[in-house]
A and B are shown apart, each in its own frame.
Chain A
């Protein structure tokens, strides 16, 4: 299998006044292309911190991170922004859609930062909205959609730039069980299409769909379980 992510001895510390709080204490992890990984662990274990570092939203205090054999740790902020735009798609528990923008405009956002023309943006956004069965909701505002529909918009936005990795933080956490199942089905379908998916979750039902489960406790990987 082709290696997509490799992190070595990643440590993350937060400064709170004079006190240093360790969040990650030396994580080593390898994720291959087309893996479906579930990162699990109790609250405060460091799983969200790990996701932020993997998603280039945050940087490690120590250690090295390689993405597609390219060293990400130490990169300039503008390069990290390019990686977030082109290679990573985020799905959040609280959807994080811009409330004053339409569904279409929300999905277009990464394409706009990628520098695509308006015409191409509209075309591509409509394609992915069709993939998540929201073609009839393009002009709606997020507030006019159900929770499940909002999360589907967020997924459409995450995959619109065809990223290498799809990072999801408790994507079903704010949904009822039926909507949650629908969302997980979409993730499974995307996985089948070859997307690499990393989901941070508490939910064992989510983890069941993953082919690799990473348990984090106190900022360390307890075990890596491949199915």
Chain B
């Protein structure tokens, strides 16, 4: 003789339904708690995904970049630039690297006929295009031949083209860059990545379209005459070999600067890992914050269930009189609490997904609520019912039937 779990569920659901208003008020805390879990965790995931997307747009996870470390206390006054010779030496020491691009950046004036434009120009190698996965959309990018010949050429960004030429043809034209005449041989592909939540440009990559590129050799030998390379980037064959390459590169550079870390090395893969670690921390923190609201919801439910048991004392007495065991009463109330919190969880998930849908549309930003997250939210809400339902259920099951039947 026993009341099955299915029966307990039916009884629990019937109880929930027969006290609709109270039930819905009871689950409010759980609805809000579950909703916040879904929304907040989806936001963290969405931001994480967006950042990763941005990193992929900037050359992917195999990219390793070497910069001057501005924060390093360079007491020995070691050079914080690489010479072209040093760059060639480094390149020869890392044959396993797929690409390498040293670069010098200057901010200069561009002019064509009566139009002027101020912006950055980069002296680069042809590998730039492969490292950044960004090529000329029209014309061509810098070639090895251009480097060898130190050709007077320039490849301009779409913004530069727009500012100097408007709708006119740019390819083949001569422009003046920092008092030197350079021929436009290419226009870079337009870069675009939707930037949500920012009051500035809607394009997170608009700064790239303002850039222009010339052979590094042209810049050094015919331009400024300064052989000061402030940074370079290399690309590993694959993600797996990137950490080894990074370590090797670090050892070479330290060797070149007498063991002093004058340069900083950043690996996109490490950044991605760090970002994932941070996202995991955020997920835990936000989850705990949401869990607090669920906890409060749980305490409210426990309180209501205890009051409900007081109110239903006679009912419990009747059930015991007709043959309910203590276990049946315990199960009935526990299942009812779990049912209430789970229903709350379901409503919270629906509400959370609806909010995500609205926010996604409003910000044009993909917010991902995965199946696992929904499952976790559901399990947490059911778990809250289990934890906070035990005490009222024990109290109900321990009622003295004679006293319960006399209860007014």
Contact = CB atoms under 8 A, between A and B. Distances in A.
Interface of A: 52, 55, 57-58, 77-78, 81-82, 84-86, 90, 92, 96-98, 100, 109-110, 112-115, 157, 161
B3 A112 contact: yes
Contact of A113 (B3, B15, B326): B3
A59 B356 CA distance: 59
Contact of B320 (A81, A92, A114, A115): A81
Nearest to A169: B405
A154 B401 CA distance: 17
Contacts of A161: 323
B321 interface: yes
Interface in B373-406: 401-402, 405
A97 B401 CA distance: 15
B258 interface: no
A113 B1 contact: yes
A163 B275 CA distance: 70
Contacts of A100: 15, 18-19
A102 to B, nearest CB: 11
B105 interface: no
Interface in B47-89: none
27 contacts: A57-B321, A58-B402, A78-B325, A78-B326, A78-B327, A82-B325, A84-B321, A84-B322, A86-B323, A90-B322, A92-B405, A96-B321, A98-B315, A100-B18, A100-B19, A109-B319, A109-B322, A112-B3, A112-B7, A113-B2, A113-B324, A113-B328, A114-B1, A115-B2, A115-B3, A115-B4, A161-B323
B323 A113 contact: yes
Contacts of B402: 52, 57-58
| B interface majority secondary structure | helix
Contacts of B401: 57-58
Q: Which of A81, A85, A100 has the most CB of B within 10 A?
A: A81
Interface string B292-324: 000000000000000000000011011111111
A68 B401 CA distance: 23
Given A96-B405, A113-B1, 15 more contacts: A57-B401, A81-B320, A82-B1, A84-B320, A85-B1, A85-B322, A85-B323, A86-B323, A96-B321, A97-B318, A110-B323, A113-B3, A113-B328, A115-B1, A161-B323
A139 to B, nearest CB: 15
Q: List the 8 closest A-B pairs by CB distance, nearest first.
A: A85-B323, A113-B323, A81-B325, A110-B322, A100-B18, A57-B401, A96-B318, A84-B323
A141 to B, nearest CB: 10
Interface of B: 1-4, 7, 15, 18-19, 314-315, 317-328, 401-402, 405
A114 B405 contact: no
A26 B323 CA distance: 27
Nearest to A157: B322
A86 B1 contact: yes
A86 B322 CA distance: 9
Nearest to B19: A100
A85 B402 CA distance: 16
Contacts of B320: 57, 81, 84
Contacts of B319: 109, 113
A77 B328 CA distance: 12
Contacts of A90: 321-322
A96 B406 CA distance: 10
A105 B26 CA distance: 26
Contacts of A85: 1, 322-323
A78 B330 CA distance: 13
A157 B405 CA distance: 16
A161 B326 CA distance: 20
A112 to B, nearest CB: 6
B323 A81 contact: yes
A77 B326 contact: yes
B322 A113 contact: yes
Contacts of A77: 325-326
A194 B315 CA distance: 30
Nearest to A83: B323
B5 to A, nearest CB: 12
A92 B3 CA distance: 24
A78 B324 CA distance: 9
Contacts of B327: 78
A111 to B, nearest CB: 9
Contacts of B321: 55, 57, 84, 90, 96
Contacts of A109: 318-319, 322
A113 B3 CA distance: 5
